Chains A and B, each alone.
Chain A
């Protein structure tokens, strides 16, 4: 168990809908990262927050947004969902935010868009 929690475990929704994925980092970790994993694309970095502020952006679509709250938990919002958004979404956390930090991954949220 990495200490990172994600809810929900599974989410099934329809095209055009909006969903929110939630992540609680390990105790003491200030950084939260979001990744999307699909079969053909592998693990794609979406966004990184450090202590409430956006630190880096990866391949995140404009339909997606995230935030990190004062208690350091984070939410990833996905809107106007398309079939291609079906994937595993992972959250990871690290102590600081250096690229050399070990990232601890949560169990993921499996999103299915029908």
Chain B
């Protein structure tokens, strides 16, 4: 079983839609949860970071963590074509950072 599972997509939505991206993880020892965004032909960049269960909001982005279910989500409100990218969840703890395979998101105008 992979430590982090993420649906690879692609996920295609129209501009303005609410997007939900999800990951599940297997090891309850993981404590910190991140979302990275990767544009085509670029390196990943940190989008959001949280360490507790619940929601964290930053503009149009909301990260949600449910430690009891080992489930994390990233919501994007009012999605824009510029949000088209691959979104990778990353989970860390005990000197180890594990990435999901990434979900490719396409937002059409």
Contacts and interface: CB of A to CB of B under 8 A. Distances in A.
Interface of A: 2, 4, 35, 41-45, 55-56, 90, 92, 98-100, 102-108
| Chain B residues touching A, range | 20 to 34
A2 B88 CA distance: 17
Contacts of B14: none
B44 A99 contact: no
A2 B94 CA distance: 25
B32 A43 contact: no
20 contacts: A2-B43, A42-B88, A42-B101, A43-B44, A43-B88, A44-B99, A45-B96, A55-B95, A56-B96, A90-B43, A98-B95, A99-B32, A99-B95, A99-B97, A100-B92, A102-B46, A103-B46, A105-B45, A107-B42, A108-B42
Contacts of A90: 43-44
A4 to B, nearest CB: 7
Contacts of B45: 2, 104-105
Contacts of A41: 101
B43 A107 contact: yes
B98 interface: yes
Given A42-B100, A43-B88, A56 B95 contact: yes
A99 B102 contact: no
